[in-house]
Amino acid sequence: MREGLVPATTYLAISTDDSRLVGMLDIRHRLNDYLINFGGHIGYSVRKTERNQGYATEMLALGLLQCKKLGIKRVLITCNKNNIASAKTILKNGAMLENEVTEGNNITQRYWITLD
């Protein structure tokens, strides 16, 4: 593994209707200094044409199950403060906002989810 990177697993969300790629989700198995502030354990994206259909919420929920299997008990998820849809997705999955971190003109919101 190259310096500065952490082990991660990437999952693809594929539509069962037409086998189209709906989105992607990355689970980082541990955090480095950058990820603890700006990236978190989970990153996800949904194809623009597939947004606002609940895919992100379901993808994140499934990602949290995988985190639990990996032994990650507290999951950090971040998003840009301007990304209201992502913040709603994170909150729907039981997250609590810890704080906001500023880097240049960007404000990153840091959310935690504790897994049972």
CATH number of 8-114: 3.40.630.30
Give the predicted TM-score (pTM) of the model.
0.94
Q: What is the pLDDT of residues 29-60, one digit of tens each?
A: 999 999 999 999 999 999 999 999 999 999 99
Is a pLDDT exceeding 90 seen at residue 22? yes
Q: What is the pLDDT of residues 2-17, one digit of tens each?
A: 888 999 999 999 999 9
Return d(Cα 14, Cα 65) in angstroms, integer: 18
Q: What is the pLDDT of residues 68-109, one digit of tens each?
A: 999 999 999 999 999 999 999 999 999 999 999 999 999 999
End-to-end CA distance of the chain: 30
With H, G, I as helix, E, B as strand and everything else as coil, classify residue 24: strand
In terms of DSSP H, where are the helices of 40-113? 55-69, 84-92
Is a pLDDT exceeding 90 seen at residue 23? yes
Domain extent listing, the chain: 8-114
